[in-house]
Amino acid sequence: MTSAAAPSKRVVDRTVHALLPSPSENGDVSSTPSSTDGISPALERLHNLHGTSLLHDASTILRLPPSAYATACVLFHRLYHRISLQKHCVWSSAMACAFLACKVEEEPRSVHAIIITFAHLYRRRRLRAGDDVAKYSYGAADCEAETAATLTNEEKENVLRSAKPMPMGGPAYAEWKDALFEMENVVLRALGFTVHWIPDGHPHKFILYFVRVLGIESKEVAQEAWNYCNDSCRLDLCVRYEPEVIACAAILMAASNHDAELPLVPRPWWEVFIGADRNHDLSTVCNSILAVGDELELDNRRAKYAFVPSLMKEPSFNDPDSYLWSVSD
């Protein structure tokens, strides 16, 4: 009788893990590959925020629907629960996740459109366009073009508008293209080529249903709850908590901001949707989303407006001193 062959190391894990273990469940806060490599939670959060802010800006420029942006963010967060920030930078990851999200959501965008969009964002981040350079400084963390401190925001926008188009056959375009295709393969392998189910798990899909059931007639409450769901995409809440929990947290904050009264007796309204004993989870999600919206917090601003160099052991394709860095001014 022939013995069974040993499992091949090349077999792709196609198991769908809708939720990953929460740090609170096992007492281990070092639960990601990046933290295992010695990257602090604060630094890991900064790079995650930087990557998802790129996805937000790229989705706006590419005119992608909110569902495509949310799918791209879920891909991004799930990727970094499989690989470390020391292995792949957030720029290539964000670019690949945006490209894959367009395919998953059937909102096709060309490779050229993706590359031109991220190249534009690269210039914006190096110039810190939209940021108050005189008021906010990131100290030794500043990593920007030489003209960023001397130009006004209007002058920066003029610089960006007058930038020469990147030739499709040139070496700079090839650098972006190689990074995109290489990272697309990494993302698909890391997630087991199983990404079809992701769009069905966005909290946005529950907002309007929950609002209708609760009898909330204010469109402002519904819109603000939707905005909070968008903010939640910037964090890895999507892999830690069910979408219903995130949706309830968004409605709770929006209703509180507009003094909308929701039933709390004989039991809190959210228990109808997510069950009992979830108050701690709800509070954690609310506090996390609110923290992302604090623009006075320097890491939040740096992630949104500046360029954050990678943590890779070998420099990334667009890090300082790279070829792209020298030709993108």
Instruction: Please report which confidence band the pLDDT of residue 3 belongs to, taking 50, 70 and 90 as the band edges.
Output: very low
Q: What are the residues whose beta carbons fall under 8 Å from the beta carbon of 213, sequence distance 6 or more?
A: 272
Tell me what pLDDT residue 7 has: 44
Residue 153 predicted with pLDDT over 60 = yes
Tell me what pLDDT residue 224 has: 94
Mean pLDDT of the chain: 85
Residue 86 predicted with pLDDT over 90 = yes
pLDDT 10s digits, 200-249: 889 998 998 999 999 888 899 999 999 999 999 999 898 889 999 999 99
pLDDT 10s digits, 266-288: 889 999 999 888 999 999 999 99
- b/e sequence 197-235, b meaning 16+ C-beta within 10 Å: ebbebbbbbbbeebbeebebeeeebbebbbebbbbbbbb
Q: Would you say 79 and 93 are in contact if contact means Cβ atoms under 8 Å apart?
A: yes
pLDDT 10s digits, 120-149: 999 999 888 888 777 777 765 566 666 677
The percent of residues above 90 in pLDDT, for the chain, comes to: 48
Q: Which residue has the higher pLDDT, 183 or 192?
A: 183
Residue 328 predicted with pLDDT over 80 = no
Tell me what pLDDT residue 20 has: 55
**Cα(42)–Cα(299) distance, integer angstroms:** 9
CA distances in angstroms from 99 to 52, 69, 114, listed in the order given: 14, 11, 7
Residue 28 predicted with pLDDT over 60 = no
Q: Would you say 195 and 104 are in contact if contact means Cβ atoms under 8 Å apart?
A: yes
